[in-house]
A and B are shown apart, each in its own frame.
Chain A
Amino acid sequence: MIDESDISKEPMLEMFVFETNQLLEQLEELLLLSEKNEKIGTENINEIFRIMHTIKGSSAMMMFNNISSVAHSVEDLFYFIRENKPDHLDYSTLCDLILSASDFVKSEIKKIQSGNQFNDQSTDLYVNESGGEDEGQFFDPAIILSNRIKNYLSSINGNANELSLDTNSQNDKSTHKFYISSYNKKGASGQQKYTAKVYFVEDCQMENIRAYTIIHNLKVSSSEIFHRPAQIIEDNQSSDFIVQNGFDIYFSTNENEDEIRKLFDGVLFIKTYELNKVDGYLDEISDLYLSSSRNSKADAGMDTNSYSARESEDEKETSIKSLKQNLISVNVEKLDKLMDLVGEIVITESMVTRNPDLIGLQLDNFGKAARQLRKLNDELQDVVMSIRMIPIAATFNKMQRIVRDMGKKLSKEVQLTIIGEETEVDKNIIENLSDPLMHLIRNAMDHGIEDSEERKLKGKPFIGGITLEAGNTGGDVVISITDDGRGLNKDKILQKARKNGLINKAETELSDREIFSFILLPGFSTSNEVTEYSGRGVGMDVVKKNIDKVGGTVSVESLSGLGTTIKIKIPLTLAIIDGMEIAVGNSIYTLPTICIKESFRPEERELIIDPEGNEMMMIRGNCCPVVRLHKLFAVKTEITNVSKGIIIVVENDARTVCLFADQLLGEQQVVVKSLPKYLNKYKVKEIGVAGCTILGDGSISLILDAMGLINSNI
């Protein structure tokens, strides 16, 4: 059961609410547009599908099964529409239906947000009064909605048996799952509630003091105590009350019953006492709680709902206060503006300190001040960048949940290893990462890891392994998810691709990587059946779209029988990088210092030319190709003799290449600006130009990218 007081504090919940709300907004927009135009294009169908799929997954993970089942039914509906493309669909009924599903999800989320007592069944349940065996039972609107959708689907389908709808995903009332929140419920775990009624010996006097002693002793080990009469010491009549009615105590404690009895036994002048374990005492103490502010008699009949809401509100308030003292939520737009300004400051700072007007002047004090400015700017930059960076741990830990749940459901034991979770990543990117990761993990669990029988046969360890790794390389964040399962089946993929007419080149010419990248296409799936987790070919599409959105790349590697690795590479936004300025002819280029291994002035004899005319050099025993920048970029320069220029050894991903340039100009911090979109259609990036930057004197320097340079050489 979800403890209502903890809901508002859950960071996962916050993310879920935010994401789902966004998706629902998109969904509504699409639906209304489609209804207006009286048609739903394939792009829209795919989009709606994706939205529902994601909502289904994340709500299932958060244990909101009613949302998940509704989303599943809608998904089925759109799957049918997408595959079979029925014409003459009544768009208004369809849209009504989907909109009511969306409304339902929204209302559920509102409830979650306001921290109401939230059960798996919604609280405005409908009572079936129509008679029959269901009479008097509560009907879950989620089930009603799902049924409506299913009926609609069969009406346009004509044959309800065509689709293999998965019924397992319905509200599974038999399995009692628990949502395990990441915070320790304060005091709630392991605590047992008790009621006690104490009668003191007649005429022992000062019953109120004795009662107070009991309370005092109990307070040590209890998380909450209520007692009647509430005011023991202050109220003189309390003694009389206790003599007449006994002293009622309601408390919750960790101690076991024996300890508590001992405690009571140790108090003098107790005639009798009753100690009972209870599940709750809300009704009994409702009058105690409200007596201070309202007429206790009149409100004794207050229902538990509002009481618990009150209680949880109070608890929420105090706990929220303690949390929020250290945190403040900031509009991301403001952060964006701040980042931009800092970027401009870096550029302007170098414009001032390297101003052409100052060349040749002797400026000592100015130099000191400039250095001071530089130091402060550096610090400012670091802090501003770190404001937006969130460690990826939160996202990764979400995945643990998925692995555990799926493992149980699929009866596969899998362990998730997380490496590099302290890697910090910009907030924008995190938001776009959690969806893809979720889908990837689900795929790994569903398709990748074999069940224990197979694994035994193959001689693999019983517990399957999935590794999530994150790391920084230069200006990118690389996240890889590896599993030691059965790997991708190249033949099956080729077969499916052939069937769908996706192969353009001769099959023998397709590299492994290209074959594997077919799985990223929408609707592509080699599985024969649709399960709750996968099989529709949507997951990888979501991954690709999300990663493309942030400008990253996805690559798939796999070894049959051994496992699959999916690597996601995302560039860090606002890169302020340390760059080395190099001159080639009249042009200035910037090379990120992080990829420079060394530089030196070679002698002519060190240059080796092979029969095909390729140039290379020996660097510490390794042979590295030489790339002449003036040739690569078609720049006019007078320095073509290697001994007159400089060789810069650049490394990326364990591959090295030697760049030949005219001279090194110096190190400088630069703000990376991306190339104008207009140039995207040309192969600029592939040749190694990753972006550009504005130098101190206003001129533009192209920023080179080691990987592009290395690849362009192939």
Chain B
Amino acid sequence: MTEALDQLMEQEDTQHGRFLTFSIGREVFGIEIRYVTEIIGIQPITEVPEVPAYVRGIINLRGKIIPVIDVRLKFKKETVEYNDRTCIIVIDIEEVSIGLIVDNVAEVLSILDENIVLPPDYKTGFQNKYIKGIGKVGSEVKLLLDCDKLLRDDEMEILEKIT
């Protein structure tokens, strides 16, 4: 009975299955649109000491202070110069807002559940931790990110550093 109810809820949820796609280098990633609050152009960032390299600092978004993360650095790629196509995607998970710095933002796509497969299970490649699934769109493949893991995984890293 609860499953039927869940299904009903999902059909009503117009945000389900819609992903915002952006590119980092050659790869295209997607994140669920329900986490995205806004997309802004790159703006001056104030650095904060004692944070990992991928946490670039904080920005002032209309009076609200938001930390920003460089997704390139998080995925252990080299950085590039920020240009006017670089965007900050502001996501909001359980009242915690952070900004993701990405190379450029593409579009919002609807990807049906049957077109999403789980990522391969091999442990190579650092990014696998954050990929929730692989979405097939036409002939291309988008890597769908797990936002929760993106925010929370830092704790694991810190622990790993200590032990």
Interface membership of B44, Cβ < 8 A: yes
For the complex formed, measure the closest distance between the CB of A113 and the CB atoms of chain B, giving whole angstroms.
35
Q: Which of A681, A684, A686 contacts B48 (CB 8 A)?
A: A684
Query: Could you list some 21 contacts between A and B, CB below 8 A?
Result: A344-B63, A347-B63, A633-B47, A675-B48, A676-B58, A676-B65, A676-B98, A677-B95, A677-B96, A678-B97, A679-B51, A681-B158, A682-B50, A682-B52, A684-B51, A687-B49, A689-B48, A694-B65, A699-B44, A700-B46, A700-B58
Interface membership of B55, Cβ < 8 A: yes
Does B50 lie within 8 Å of A687, measured CB to CB? yes
Does B44 lie within 8 Å of A587, measured CB to CB? no
Interface membership of B67, Cβ < 8 A: yes
Chain B contacts to A: CB under 8 angstroms: 44, 46-52, 55, 58-60, 63, 65-67, 95-98, 151, 154-155, 158
Q: Which of A587, A678, A681, A694 contacts B47 (CB 8 A)?
A: A587
Q: Which of B52, B65, B97 contacts A675 (CB 8 A)?
A: B65
Does B96 lie within 8 Å of A678, measured CB to CB? yes
Residues of A within 8 A of B48 (CB): 675, 679, 684, 689, 702
Does A679 lie within 8 Å of B67, measured CB to CB? yes
For the complex formed, measure the closest distance between the CB of A335 and the CB atoms of chain B, giving whole angstroms.
20
Q: Which residue of A lies closest to B52 (CB)?
A: A682
Does B66 lie within 8 Å of A676, measured CB to CB? yes
Residues of A within 8 A of B155 (CB): 681
For the complex formed, measure the closest distance between the CB of A678 and the CB atoms of chain B, giving whole angstroms.
5
CA distance A587 to B57 in the complex (A): 12
Q: Which of B55, B65, B95 contacts A692 (CB 8 A)?
A: B65
The 7 A-B residue pairs whose C-beta atoms are closest, nearest first, are A700-B46, A633-B49, A682-B51, A678-B67, A676-B67, A687-B50, A683-B50
CA distance A267 to B51 in the complex (A): 92
CA distance A208 to B65 in the complex (A): 82
Does B49 lie within 8 Å of A698, measured CB to CB? no
Residues of B within 8 A of A689 (CB): 48-50
Does B49 lie within 8 Å of A676, measured CB to CB? no
Interface membership of A463, Cβ < 8 A: no
Most buried by B among A682, A689, A701, A702: A682
Does B60 lie within 8 Å of A694, measured CB to CB? yes
Residues of B within 8 A of A702 (CB): 46, 48
Interface membership of A32, Cβ < 8 A: no
CA distance A679 to B52 in the complex (A): 10
Q: Which residue of B lies closest to A688 (CB)?
A: B49
Does A678 lie within 8 Å of B151, measured CB to CB? yes
Q: Which residue of B lies closest to A700 (CB)?
A: B46
Q: Which residue of B lies closest to A701 (CB)?
A: B46
Interface membership of A632, Cβ < 8 A: yes
Residues of B within 8 A of A686 (CB): 50
Interface membership of A618, Cβ < 8 A: no
CA distance A702 to B96 in the complex (A): 20
A-B contact count (CB 8 A): 68
A676-B63 CB under 8 A given contacts A682-B50, A699-B44:
no
For the complex formed, measure the closest distance between the CB of A695 and the CB atoms of chain B, giving whole angstroms.
9
Residues of A within 8 A of B50 (CB): 682-684, 686-687, 689
CA distance A232 to B55 in the complex (A): 89
Residues of B within 8 A of A635 (CB): 47
For the complex formed, measure the closest distance between the CB of B62 and the CB atoms of chain A, giving whole angstroms.
10
Q: Which positions 405-462 of chain A face chain B at CB distance < 8 Å?
A: none
Interface membership of A374, Cβ < 8 A: no
Residues of B within 8 A of A679 (CB): 48, 51, 55, 58, 67
CA distance A633 to B49 in the complex (A): 5
For the complex formed, measure the closest distance between the CB of B14 and the CB atoms of chain A, giving whole angstroms.
28
For the complex formed, measure the closest distance between the CB of B27 and the CB atoms of chain A, giving whole angstroms.
25
Residues of A within 8 A of B58 (CB): 675-676, 679, 692, 700
Q: Which of B46, B51, B95 contacts A699 (CB 8 A)?
A: B46
Q: Which residue of A lies closest to B152 (CB)?
A: A681
Q: Which residue of A lies closest to B49 (CB)?
A: A633
Q: Which positions 648-699 of chain A face chain B at CB distance < 8 Å?
A: 673, 675-679, 681-684, 686-687, 689, 692, 694, 698-699
For the complex formed, measure the closest distance between the CB of A690 and the CB atoms of chain B, giving whole angstroms.
12
Q: Which positions 485-513 of chain A face chain B at CB distance < 8 Å?
A: none
Residues of B within 8 A of A683 (CB): 50
Residues of B within 8 A of A634 (CB): 49
Does A681 lie within 8 Å of B154, measured CB to CB? yes
Does B67 lie within 8 Å of A632, measured CB to CB? no
For the complex formed, measure the closest distance between the CB of B82 and the CB atoms of chain A, giving whole angstroms.
16
Q: Which of A344, A347, A676, A681 contacts B97 (CB 8 A)?
A: A676
Residues of A within 8 A of B96 (CB): 676-678
CA distance A416 to B110 in the complex (A): 70
Residues of A within 8 A of B65 (CB): 673, 675-676, 692, 694, 700
Q: Which of B49, B51, B60, B154 contacts A700 (CB 8 A)?
A: B60
CA distance A677 to B67 in the complex (A): 9
A694-B51 CB under 8 A given contacts A678-B96, A699-B44, A702-B46:
no
A694-B49 CB under 8 A given contacts A676-B58, A677-B96:
no
CA distance A613 to B60 in the complex (A): 38
A700-B67 CB under 8 A given contacts A678-B96, A681-B154:
no
For the complex formed, measure the closest distance between the CB of B157 and the CB atoms of chain A, giving whole angstroms.
10
Q: Which residue of B lies closest to A687 (CB)?
A: B50
Does A682 lie within 8 Å of B55, measured CB to CB? yes
Other than the given A678-B67, A689-B48, 9 more pairs (CB < 8 A) read: A587-B46, A633-B47, A675-B58, A676-B65, A679-B58, A681-B158, A694-B60, A701-B46, A702-B48
For the complex formed, measure the closest distance between the CB of B162 and the CB atoms of chain A, giving whole angstroms.
12
For the complex formed, measure the closest distance between the CB of B147 and the CB atoms of chain A, giving whole angstroms.
13
CA distance A203 to B55 in the complex (A): 105
For the complex formed, measure the closest distance between the CB of B45 and the CB atoms of chain A, giving whole angstroms.
9
CA distance A618 to B20 in the complex (A): 59
CA distance A679 to B57 in the complex (A): 10
Q: Which residue of B lies closest to A712 (CB)?
A: B50
Residues of B within 8 A of A677 (CB): 95-96
Residues of B within 8 A of A701 (CB): 46
Q: Which residue of A lies closest to B48 (CB)?
A: A684
CA distance A123 to B154 in the complex (A): 60
Does A692 lie within 8 Å of B51, measured CB to CB? no
Residues of B within 8 A of A698 (CB): 60
Residues of B within 8 A of A344 (CB): 63
